[in-house]
Amino acid sequence: MKIDWKESSIIGLAVIVLFMILLSPTNITSETSIEQKLTDNGWELYTISDCPACQLQKELFQNIDELTIIVCDIDRDKCMKEKITHVPTWINTKTNEVRVGYQELSQIKIMIE
């Protein structure tokens, strides 16, 4: 049986490139967004639709869809159950910690430590 070195080299190169792609740092450690960390740590943001401070709070985030946001003028029952009296309010469902009012980014980073 005769070995075609040219064909073997191409296949070998393709295998090496595939392993390099699969083992690249972006595939090994993908950084979790701050929004996902908040959600993973149990934080929920309570707002209402026409609240300027709530809007400013949401504007701090790039991946807003990764946050758990409860809009109290839509989900009144949940907000009443949680006794929301001021917005924005952050509630941690794991620790029951409550933070009322707009939170600066530095404060939010502390919330996920």
Residue position matching structure tokens 């026409």: 50
Which residue range forms the structural domain that includes residue 99?
34-111
Please, which residues bridge with residue 89 across strands? 46, 100
Report CA-CA distances (Å) from 17 to 12, 69, 72, 89, 106: 9, 42, 51, 49, 41
Dig out the tokens for 56 from the structure: 């400013």
- Whether 1 is covered by a domain: the verdict is no
- DSSP code at position 66: G
Share of the chain above pLDDT 70, in %: 73
- The pLDDT assigned to 94 comes to 97
* CA–CA separation, 92 and 38 (whole Å): 9
Summarised one tens digit per residue, pLDDT across range 28-57 is 345 789 999 999 999 999 999 999 999 999
- The pLDDT assigned to 44 comes to 98
Asked if residue 26 has pLDDT above 70, the reply is no
Give the number of domains in the chain.
1
- Whether 20 is covered by a domain: the verdict is no
* CA–CA separation, 14 and 31 (whole Å): 28
The whole-number average pLDDT for the span 11-24 is 58
Asked if residue 20 has pLDDT above 70, the reply is no
CA 18 to chain centroid: 29
Task: Reduce the DSSP state of residue 113 to 3 states and report it.
Answer: coil
> pTM for the full model?
0.72
- The pLDDT assigned to 32 comes to 87
Task: Reduce the DSSP state of residue 92 to 3 states and report it.
Answer: strand
- Whether 103 is covered by a domain: the verdict is yes
- Whether 11 is covered by a domain: the verdict is no
